[in-house]
């Protein structure tokens, strides 16, 4: 394959890569769907669980950054595992990521569709056919954007993330203002103390907390399309991975504190996967509380995009190396995207 028909090299800058990493973790979506579960298992220690899992993930991030400096590859973990342990192990690492990406992406389209209907047509929010239709529209739209080019994907992601961040900051500030003097749970150093955990309790919390950080590694899959410099083989991708995980570790920790300050255990439990909306409803009057729903939609659609990017780049890399059919490594001559690999995940999502 000639360079002319390769991926769009030196396209994503450091800021764009950071945004991609943040969007990959789906801040609002992760908080909305995971908080009730982790609070029900470890209570107020969910704050510490998220913080310490973030530190563990940061260590993994440093390892990924080092590997990406040595061998920037769209296949990321697939390529590195294959290089260290052999092609067979690399194949299984890549295949596992492909399967996980499909399941995660499909599971994200449903809440995106439900939240969209809640805003524009609440009478259809329980209608299975309506949800499936809206989910298909979102999936098709994002697939079209990803196929059109990495810059288009970046512009959309930046727009989504700016609005999402603004709404989340408003929730954090509003929570501090309204519940600083009368919190539902009084903040304590115990929430953060590692000595508050038993080994079993830490393991239980970690199993859920690790989900918060799923997806940041899309920056590594975009390393071949990220800007580099002479001293750092994967400059922008490394910058994106580093700062996106740092930002998410701080955000998730702060957000867990705010949620515990605003909501009681019973309110968190009853909110289930709509924790952000429950928080917004206690801080802002209608219709402003529905900004939390809008925020969740942006976050969910954003992570659908990053999953499509991660799947398509991994499938492209495996095909390029001869591990899968060569058709999956076809690059669009103008858009410079692995369009066949991208269409594959769209088809799987539509089934």
Q: What percent of the chain has pLDDT over 70?
A: 97
Q: Give the helix, strand, coil percentages of the chain, each rounded to 5.
A: 80, 0, 20
Q: Is the pLDDT of residue 5 over 70?
A: no
The pair of structure tokens assigned to 255 is: 């957000």
Least confident of 91-95, 122-126, 297-301: 122-126
Q: Is the pLDDT of residue 142 over 50?
A: yes
pLDDT at 69: 86
Residue 26 CB neighbour total at 10 angstroms: 29
* Separation CA 21–CA 247 (nearest Å): 10
Q: Residue 95, class by beta-carbon neighbours within 10 Å (0-12 exposed, 13-18 middle, 19+ buried)? A: middle
For 202-261, how does the pLDDT look when each residue is reduced to its tens digit (9 = 90+)? 999 999 999 999 999 999 999 999 987 644 545 899 999 999 999 999 999 999 999 999
For 258-277, how does the pLDDT look when each residue is reduced to its tens digit (9 = 90+)? 999 999 999 999 998 889 99
Least confident of 99-113, 214-228, 288-302: 99-113
* Separation CA 129–CA 149 (nearest Å): 31
Tell me the pTM. 0.92
Contact 198, 206 (CB under 8 A): no
* Separation CA 283–CA 289 (nearest Å): 8
Domain boundaries, the chain: 3-350
pLDDT at 32: 92
For 122-135, how does the pLDDT look when each residue is reduced to its tens digit (9 = 90+)? 999 889 999 999 99
pLDDT at 229: 60
Omega of the bond leading into 37 within 30 degrees of 0 (cis): no
Q: Residue 15, class by beta-carbon neighbours within 10 Å (0-12 exposed, 13-18 middle, 19+ buried)? A: middle
End-to-end distance of the chain based on CA atoms, in angstroms?
31
pLDDT at 106: 80
Of 55, 38, 42, residue with least CA distance to 197: 42
- How many residues does the structure list for the chain? 351
* Separation CA 178–CA 157 (nearest Å): 31
Q: Is the pLDDT of residue 21 over 70?
A: yes
Contacts of 60 (CB under 8 A, 6+ apart): none
pLDDT at 104: 84
Q: Is the pLDDT of residue 24 over 90?
A: yes
pLDDT at 41: 94
Q: Is the pLDDT of residue 3 over 60?
A: no
Q: Determine if residue 286 is left, alpha or beta; phi over 0 gives left, psi from -120 to 50 gives alpha, anything else beta.
A: beta
Give CA torsion, residues 113, 119, 122, 125, to 10 deg.
20
Q: What is the mean pLDDT of residues 164-177?
A: 96
Q: Is the pLDDT of residue 2 over 90?
A: no
Confidence of residue 149 (pLDDT cuts 50, 70, 90): very high
φ, ψ dihedrals at 161, nearest 5°: -70, -35
Q: What is the mean pLDDT of residues 281-302?
A: 94
pLDDT at 6: 84
Domain spanning 3-350: CATH superfamily: Amino acid/polyamine transporter I (1.20.1740.10)
Least confident of 55-64, 99-108, 136-145, 214-223: 99-108
pLDDT at 77: 92
DSSP labels for 339-350?
HHHHHHHHHHHH
Residue 166 CB neighbour total at 10 angstroms: 11
* Separation CA 273–CA 268 (nearest Å): 9
Residue 252 CB neighbour total at 10 angstroms: 26
Q: Is the pLDDT of residue 52 over 80?
A: yes
Residue 102 CB neighbour total at 10 angstroms: 18
Confidence of residue 4 (pLDDT cuts 50, 70, 90): very low
Confidence of residue 175 (pLDDT cuts 50, 70, 90): very high
**How distant, in Å, are the alpha carbons of 291, 320, 321, 330 from that of 327?**
43, 9, 12, 6
* Residue-averaged pLDDT of the chain: 92
Q: Is the pLDDT of residue 92 over 60?
A: yes
Confidence of residue 297 (pLDDT cuts 50, 70, 90): very high
pLDDT at 71: 86
């Amino acid at each position: 394959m000639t360079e002319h028909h390769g991926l769009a090299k030196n396209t994503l800058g450091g800021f764009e890569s950071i945004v991609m990493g943040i969007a990959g973790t789906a801040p609002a979506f992760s908080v909305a769907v995971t908080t009730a579960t982790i609070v029900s298992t470890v209570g107020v220690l969910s704050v510490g669980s998220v913080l310490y899992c973030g530190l563990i993930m940061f260590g993994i991030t440093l390892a990924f950054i080092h590997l990406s400096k040595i061998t920037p590859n769209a296949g990321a973990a697939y390529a590195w595992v294959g290089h260290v342990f052999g092609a067979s192990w690399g194949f299984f690492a890549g295949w596992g990521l492909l399967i996980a990406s499909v399941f995660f992406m499909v599971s994200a389209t449903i809440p995106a569709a439900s939240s969209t209907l809640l805003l524009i047509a609440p009478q259809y929010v329980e209608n299975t056919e309506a949800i499936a239709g809206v989910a298909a529209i979102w999936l098709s739209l994002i697939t079209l954007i990803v196929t059109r080019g990495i810059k288009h994907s970046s512009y959309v992601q930046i727009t989504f993330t700016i609005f999402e961040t603004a709404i989340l900051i408003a929730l954090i500030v509003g929570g501090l203002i309204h519940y600083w003097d009368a919190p539902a749970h009084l903040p304590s150093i115990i929430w953060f103390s590692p000595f508050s955990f038993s080994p079993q309790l830490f393991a239980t919390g970690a199993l859920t907390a690790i989900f918060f950080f799923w997806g940041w590694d899309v920056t590594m899959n975009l390393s071949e399309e990220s800007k580099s410099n002479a001293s750092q083989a994967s400059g922008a991708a490394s910058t994106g991975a580093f700062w996106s995980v740092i930002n998410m570790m701080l955000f998730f920790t702060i957000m867990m504190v705010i949620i515990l300050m605003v909501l009681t255990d019973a309110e968190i439990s009853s909110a289930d996967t709509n924790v952000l909306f429950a928080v917004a409803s206690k801080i802002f009057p209608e219709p402003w509380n529905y900004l939390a729903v809008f925020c969740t939609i942006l976050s969910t659609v954003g992570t659908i995009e990053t999953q499509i990017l991660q799947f398509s780049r991994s499938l492209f890399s495996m095909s390029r190396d001869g591990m899968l059919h060569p058709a999956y490594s076809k690059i669009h001559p103008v858009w410079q995207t692995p369009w066949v690999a991208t269409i594959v995940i769209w088809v799987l999502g539509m089934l």
